[in-house]
A and B are shown apart, each in its own frame.
Chain A
């Protein structure tokens, strides 16, 4: 590894990120992200998709800085509501509810919020350093990849996403195949033929990613919330005044180990394709329970139970940028959206971004660190405002979400067909929920579909139709072996049982 370039690179990044206009985009991003994170019933995927049009008029650097800010801002906001109202704003903060809300009930909401902020900031810092360290060498390796390597890498990424997802493995793999098929809709680049467009000229460019994300996530989420009567339910908002924000020395001492372990776990899962912030938070919580001298304290307001998952989910969010930016292979649904935004800006994602647009790459990294700092400063004094916001009833919220989604879907192509397609995918997403089919891997496959077909074609063209090319090239073989190992782990009964227990445990948390 060549570390000599690290400092100049970071310097370039910071000089890009601290320009007033980029600071402003970063600020708007984290503020809006936190706001959406605080509001329950709208996840990060739908949030980023919904706000995509806000970035159309920005330059590429500003757009990506703002969207990234929205993404990690939602994680932050999600934990605030988890602690204060026992209502996870995002799925990754479900575990934070357990001890965080207990702390709040004991009148220690301040320290709980503070430790969540400190843990997240530490994890964010480590994540930023990791991206800066691992990004360039990884991009260098990736530049040497040929078509077979890329194809095998994508197979691995998709299977990893299936293994780490909730729900049955077979159903998840079927969802991936379905996602690949949906990705084919549009004009075939090789033959110029329109495929699966059913005669609609509006589909010639393929389905819009923002539309798909808003349908499958946004629209379907609202349906599911309304079914459960979220619009008439009252929320039990903590009315106690939050006093004594600062944690004691004892709190800090207790939390240090948890923050370090949480960061490590989050960094690990964050780099893995498909392993998002949610699984990181659950694992970090489980680990804390295992290593604690007195596990019975958990669930009763143990500060480690807040520190570990909060550090883990933030580390995971940051580290997800490593594979996304260097390989051009999105790591999850939200990352796929960010890459989509880059494409709209006319930048092809991939390892070449780092050399061709160093200001964009390093500027984003630096802005992520600045954004994390902003969140610490912003979040603690604004807690009162977020609590007020929580009192907005859902019956006002969902028409507002529908409004933003409709404008968001339409503005991508200015095509009413996209709106009607969003209805179709919204209802489909609702059916997926009913059948317990996880939509996140489908979205990932949708993005990778065209890339996968292209690389499969190229690989078999070079090898003159010989499929062994995927196992005779060492890097490609390594990816496929890793995929096989992953699948074996899933199929071997003893281990599968363990996973089921783990999933059941995390589901019951």
Chain B
């Protein structure tokens, strides 16, 4: 008998569930278990973690017997650029204000695409920022400073 992963999708899904399950069990050990009658905060997550490990193991095990699809490659560039755009916004909104952080967000997310035309992105930024300021700051009164000086 040969052990070969026939369905990488399921194999890695199983591994992912086992990982999350183990994390849940390990972290829950810091919380009192209690008994079934008087459950402590550790009771429910420990059992859920255990169920998740078992399910993950079964899913992985089946991937050796049943044919399935392989995993398509990840789109790294969009993933990094979109993440960066949110980081810029998350940091910026507390430090440099609503307008500049939105500008950063839009430029970085536009850079996630395959085409990046500077002129287009600038026009898009202006339209989106004006719209967002109009709707969120003046329209529904979200209390964010527009720039770093106010």
A464 at the A/B interface (Cβ < 8 Å)?
yes
CB <8 Å contact, A53 and B142: yes
Complex alpha-carbon distance, A195 and B25, angstroms: 12
Q: Which DSSP category, helix, strand, loop or mixed, fits chain B's interface?
A: helix
**Which residues of B60-105 have CB atoms within 8 Å of chain A's CB atoms?**
62, 69, 71-72, 74-75, 78-79, 82-83, 85-87, 89-91, 93-94, 102, 105
Chain A residues near B59: list those with CB within 8 A. Answer: 168, 170-171, 174
Chain A residues near B83: list those with CB within 8 A. Answer: 423, 426-427
Tell me the minimal C-beta distance from A81 to chain B in angstroms: 21
CB <8 Å contact, A53 and B17: no
Chain A residues near B27: list those with CB within 8 A. Answer: 195-196
Tell me the minimal C-beta distance from B56 to chain A in angstroms: 6
CB <8 Å contact, A435 and B75: no
A257 at the A/B interface (Cβ < 8 Å)?
no
Chain B residues near A430: list those with CB within 8 A. Answer: 74, 79
CB <8 Å contact, A419 and B17: no
Q: In which size bucket is the chain B interface?
A: 35 or more
CB <8 Å contact, B36 and A423: no
A116-124, A178-186, A269-277 - interface stretch: A178-186
**Which residues of A41-87 have CB atoms within 8 Å of chain B's CB atoms?**
53-54, 56-57
CB <8 Å contact, A178 and B128: no
Chain B residues near A184: list those with CB within 8 A. Answer: 44-45, 48
CB <8 Å contact, B106 and A399: yes
CB <8 Å contact, B89 and A419: yes
A224-232, A278-286, A345-353, A470-478 - interface stretch: A224-232
Of A188, A410, A423, the contact of B93 (CB 8 Å cutoff): A410
Tell me which of A190, A407, A431 has the highest count of chain B C-beta atoms within 10 A of its own C-beta.
A407
CB <8 Å contact, A193 and B41: yes
Tell me the minimal C-beta distance from B92 to chain A in angstroms: 9
Known: A427-B79, A435-B13. A54 touches B140 (CB 8 A): yes
Chain B residues near A460: list those with CB within 8 A. Answer: 36-37, 39
Chain A residues near B114: list those with CB within 8 A. Answer: 226, 229, 231-232
Chain A residues near B90: list those with CB within 8 A. Answer: 406, 410, 416-417, 419-420
CB <8 Å contact, A465 and B78: no
Chain B residues near A396: list those with CB within 8 A. Answer: 120, 124
CB <8 Å contact, A402 and B52: no
Chain B residues near A399: list those with CB within 8 A. Answer: 105-106, 109-110, 121, 124, 128
CB <8 Å contact, B87 and A171: no
Give per-residue flags for B27-40: 1 if the beta carbon is below 8 A from chain A beta carbons, else 0: 11001100111111
Closest A residue to B91 using CB positions: A416
Give per-residue flags for A384-398: 1 if the beta carbon is below 8 A from chain B beta carbons, else 0: 000000000001101
Tell me the minimal C-beta distance from A440 to chain B in angstroms: 16
Chain A residues near B44: list those with CB within 8 A. Answer: 184, 453, 456-457
CB <8 Å contact, A422 and B106: no
A177 at the A/B interface (Cβ < 8 Å)?
yes
CB <8 Å contact, B37 and A231: no
Of A174, A226, A422, the contact of B17 (CB 8 Å cutoff): A174
CB <8 Å contact, A402 and B32: no
CB <8 Å contact, A437 and B82: no
Complex alpha-carbon distance, A56 and B124, angstroms: 27
Chain B residues near A188: list those with CB within 8 A. Answer: 31, 41
Give per-residue flags for A440-474: 1 if the beta carbon is below 8 A from chain B beta carbons, else 0: 00000000000001001100110011010000000
Known: A406-B89, A419-B89, A423-B86. A57 touches B52 (CB 8 A): no
Of B49, B87, B132, the contact of A420 (CB 8 Å cutoff): B87
B2 at the A/B interface (Cβ < 8 Å)?
no
B146 at the A/B interface (Cβ < 8 Å)?
no
Tell me the minimal C-beta distance from A193 to chain B in angstroms: 5
Give per-residue flags for A207-227: 1 if the beta carbon is below 8 A from chain B beta carbons, else 0: 000000000000100110011
Closest A residue to B44 using CB positions: A453
Complex alpha-carbon distance, A37 and B34, angstroms: 49
Complex alpha-carbon distance, A395 and B87, angstroms: 20
Known: A399-B110, A399-B128. A423 touches B87 (CB 8 A): yes
CB <8 Å contact, B82 and A222: yes
Write 28 A-B pairs (CB below 8 A) sorted by A numbering.
A53-B136, A54-B135, A54-B140, A57-B140, A171-B10, A177-B52, A178-B17, A193-B31, A219-B82, A222-B78, A226-B112, A231-B114, A396-B120, A396-B124, A399-B128, A407-B142, A416-B93, A416-B94, A422-B86, A423-B82, A423-B83, A423-B86, A435-B9, A435-B16, A436-B69, A456-B39, A457-B44, A467-B36
Supply 17 further A-B pairs (C-beta < 8 A) apart from A170-B55, A403-B128.
A57-B140, A171-B10, A174-B59, A180-B48, A190-B41, A191-B41, A196-B24, A219-B82, A223-B82, A227-B74, A231-B113, A398-B109, A406-B85, A406-B102, A407-B132, A416-B93, A460-B37
